[in-house]
């Protein structure tokens, strides 16, 4: 779940201070993010690559990859999240049966339609069997692209999972160095860690601010701002969030009588933007979610001193988000991240929004629901696909949920 465990709320810079007076309004900033979101040809990333002769782009899928390593090579990490509801899938369906989720087919569509022809490498994280197998499909279909299935440990001991992960990281670092033609140094990696620490601080600030005043940060805006971070260079994205926070803090927006919810299950295949908007229209302020976890996977700053790979590994083992793709070794801890997210964000309920046929989300769901039940937290659940067209059932369910929470809290 999102946001900081330890209250990193510094640097959010919101309020009515001077920062906002000179900057752009939220509308302009969001419009820029929306344009990046709408662009299925990745024009911005292509432009970035074209700006220098040695520039390379490495794509990655959900749920988490250490973008610091890509950045340290001087490459652009590019988040690939399927095609959304605007991409017409013509060839992608030829590769998948009807009972497999949507994100791999639209991702293949992006690939075979040439939209990713400028991408030099692809990382497929350990999230589920579908994405795992997609790594092999990519190798077969795009033999000229550097492809790696990026495995992460499910053992959290420093000397076991930690060692394994350090070695995985160093293999990745070695490979990307080879791709660049020059090894990546520890110094480069440390510098990149610092840049990403800064970015994560801003992301956490955005989440904190929204939890505090959700009417000031509509869920769809927060999403677009965050999503821009998957295609922009991290430095630009950090600036973008900073700008947005300043603008959002400066604008007073009407507060509605909405209930406050945490939305979970969105960690891989993306919900349509309309779905996110529909939740709010139906009376639910989203105060936390598990969207785009890669932007805040590591929940604390990664130390800069010492061995940078070791530091990344330890951060992964001990200070990273909980999600369905990760094994929870402790039964008592199972699902508690969700309870904590509810408490921290002052939410009144949880919405399970899971992609159809998403094994991790749907297999995890009953366990999380039991935990919420024991904690007395109300919830509802529905499924979506990245191209779901009809929002009426979702608006109805979310609206009913919001009403019932109000009734319930009124008694």
Partner 1 sequence: MTTIVTPKAAPAKEVVKDDSMVKQKEMMAAHYDRLTSASETGAKVVSTFVPGNLNELIMCFDLLNNLPEVNAIQSGLRRQSGAYVLEAEKIGHSEDVCTYVKSDVGMMAKGNIGPNGKKLPNPDALLLSYTGCFTFMKWFELLREQYKCETIMLHTPYMGDGKITPNMVEYMVKQIKEEVIPKLERISGVKFDIDRLREYLKKSAKAEDDLVHVLKTAKNKPSPIDAYFGGIYYIGPIFGAFRGTEDAIDYYRFLRAECEARLAEGKGPVTPDGDMGKERYRLVVEGPPNYTNFRQFWKMFYDEGAVVVASSYTKVGGVYDLGFRHDPDKPLETLAEYCLGVYTNRSLPMRIEMLANYIDEYQADGLLINSIKSCNSFSAGQLLIMREVEKRTGKPAAFVESDLVDPRYFSAANIKNRLESYFQMIEQRRAGGRAAA
Partner 2 sequence: MKTFVGIDLGSTTTKAILLDENRDVIGRGITNSRSNYATAARVASEEARVDGRFTLFRRALTEAEGISVRLDDFLGALERAFRLEQFLEQLDDLQQTCIGLVQGDRFAGRESGVKEALAEVFTRLRAEAPELYAPGAKRKSDFFRDIAGSRYHTQAEEVARDASLPYELLLNVYDKSIIDVENRPPAGGLSEKFRRALARVLEADPQLQSARGDVLPVIERTLAVDLEETYLVGTGYGRVTLPFSKEHIRSEILCHGLGAHMMYPSTRTVLDIGGQDTKGIQVDAQGIVVNFQMNDRCAAGCGRYLGYIADEMNMGLHELGPLAMKSDRPARINSTCTVFAGAELRDRLSLGEKREDILAGLHRAIILRAISIISRSGGVTDEFTFTGGVAKNEAAVRELRKLIKENYGEVTININPESIYTGALGAAEFARRAHSGQIQGVEP
Q: Which residues bind partner 1 (CB under 8 A)?
A: 94-97, 99-100, 104, 124, 126-130, 132-137, 139-141, 148-149, 151, 153-155, 157, 159-161, 163-164, 167-168, 171, 324-325, 327-329, 331, 334, 354, 356-360, 362-367, 369-370, 383
User: What, of partner 1, partner 2, none, does residue 140 touch, CB below 5 to 8 Å by kind?
Assistant: partner 1
Among 391, 398, 402, 405, binds partner 2 (CB under 8 A): 391
- Helix H or strand E segment including 57: strand 57-60
**Measured distance CA(294)–CA(289) in Å, rounded:** 13
| 397 Cα distance to chain centroid | 25
393 lies in the site for partner 2, by CB under 8 A: yes
396 lies in the site for partner 2, by CB under 8 A: no
- Per-residue binding string, partner 2, 265-284, x by CB under 8 A, is --------------------
Give CA separation, 162 vs 167, 272, 313, 318, 332, in Å: 9, 37, 6, 10, 23
Say if residues 65 and 150 touch (Cβ distance below 8 Å).
yes
Classify residue 161 by its DSSP letter: I
Say if residues 396 and 366 touch (Cβ distance below 8 Å).
no
How many of the other CB atoms lie within 10 Å of CB of 54?
A: 11
Output the smallest distance, CB 86 to partner 2, in A.
8
Say if residues 281 and 114 touch (Cβ distance below 8 Å).
no
Of 49 and 102, the one with the shorter C-beta distance to partner 2 is 102
Output the smallest distance, CB 130 to partner 1, in A.
4
221 lies in the site for partner 2, by CB under 8 A: no
Radius of gyration over every alpha carbon of the chain, rounded to an integer in angstroms: 20
Output the smallest distance, CB 74 to partner 2, in A.
38
List, in sequence order, every beta strand (DSSP E) within 87-145: 121-125
Output the smallest distance, CB 74 to partner 1, in A.
24
258 Rama sector, left if φ>0, alpha if ψ -120 to 50, beta otherwise: beta
Among 98, 144, 330, 411, binds partner 2 (CB under 8 A): 98
Strands 284-289 and 121-125: unpaired
**Measured distance CA(243)–CA(20) in Å, rounded:** 8
140 lies in the site for partner 2, by CB under 8 A: no
168 lies in the site for partner 2, by CB under 8 A: no
Of 24 and 112, the one with the shorter C-beta distance to partner 2 is 112
User: What, of partner 1, partner 2, none, does residue 86 touch, CB below 5 to 8 Å by kind?
Assistant: partner 2
- Helix H or strand E segment including 380: strand 379-384
**Measured distance CA(91)–CA(206) in Å, rounded:** 38
- Per-residue binding string, partner 2, 368-387, x by CB under 8 A, is -----------------x-x
97 lies in the site for partner 2, by CB under 8 A: yes
94 lies in the site for partner 2, by CB under 8 A: yes
Interactions with partner 2, residue window 64-93 (CB under 8 A) = 85-86, 88-93
List, in sequence order, every beta strand (DSSP E) within 211-348: 259-264, 284-289
Of 15 and 366, the one with the shorter C-beta distance to partner 1 is 366
- Token pair in block for residue 303: 């130390």
Output the smallest distance, CB 98 to partner 2, in A.
4
**Measured distance CA(215)–CA(343) in Å, rounded:** 19
Output the smallest distance, CB 391 to partner 2, in A.
7
User: What, of partner 2, partner 1, none, does residue 89 touch, CB below 5 to 8 Å by kind?
Assistant: partner 2
Output the smallest distance, CB 375 to partner 2, in A.
33
Residues binding partner 2 (CB under 8 A): 85-86, 88-94, 97-99, 385, 387-393
């Amino acid at each position: 779940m999102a946001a900081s465990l330890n209250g990193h709320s510094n640097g959010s810079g919101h309020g009515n201070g001077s920062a906002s007076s000179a900057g752009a309004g939220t509308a302009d900033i969001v419009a820029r993010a929306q344009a990046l979101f709408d662009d299925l040809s990745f024009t911005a990333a292509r432009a970035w690559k074209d700006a220098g002769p040695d520039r390379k782009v490495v794509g990655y899928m959900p749920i988490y990859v250490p973008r610091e390593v890509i950045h340290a090579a001087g490459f652009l990490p590019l988040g690939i999240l399927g095609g959304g509801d605007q991409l017409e899938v013509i060839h992608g369906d030829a590769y998948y049966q009807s009972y497999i989720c949507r994100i791999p087919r639209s991702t293949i569509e992006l690939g075979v339609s040439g939209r990713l022809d400028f991408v030099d490498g692809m990382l497929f994280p350990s999230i589920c069997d579908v994405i795992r197998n997609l790594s092999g499909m990519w190798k077969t279909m795009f033999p000229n692209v550097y492809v790696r299935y990026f495995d992460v440990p499910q053992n959290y001991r420093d000397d076991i999972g930690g060692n394994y992960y350090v070695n995985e990281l160093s293999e990745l670092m070695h490979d990307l160095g080879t791709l660049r033609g020059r090894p990546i140094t520890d110094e480069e990696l440390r510098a990149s860690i610092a840049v990403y620490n800064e970015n994560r601080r801003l992301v956490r600030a955005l989440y904190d601010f929204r939890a505090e005043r959700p009417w000031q940060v509509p869920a769809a805006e927060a999403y677009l701002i965050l999503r821009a971070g998957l295609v922009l260079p991290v430095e630009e994205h950090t600036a973008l969030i900073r700008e947005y926070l300043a603008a959002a803090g400066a604008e007073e927006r009407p507060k509605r009588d909405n209930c406050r919810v945490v939305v979970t299950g969105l960690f891989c295949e993306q919900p349509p933007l309309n779905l996110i908007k529909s939740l709010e229209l139906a009376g639910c302020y989203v105060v936390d979610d598990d969207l785009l976890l890669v932007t805040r996977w590591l929940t604390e700053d990664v130390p800069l001193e010492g061995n940078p790979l070791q530091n990344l590994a330890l951060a992964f083992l001990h200070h990273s988000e909980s999600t369905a793709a990760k094994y929870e070794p402790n039964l008592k801890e199972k699902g508690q991240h969700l309870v904590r997210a509810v408490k921290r964000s002052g939410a009144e309920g949880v919405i399970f929004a899971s992609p159809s046929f998403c094994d991790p989300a749907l297999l995890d769901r009953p366990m999380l629901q039991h935990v919420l039940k024991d904690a007395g937290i109300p919830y509802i659940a529905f499924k979506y696909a990245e191209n779901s067209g009809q929002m009426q059932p979702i608006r109805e369910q979310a609206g009913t949920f919001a009403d019932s929470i109000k009734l319930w809290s009124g008694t």
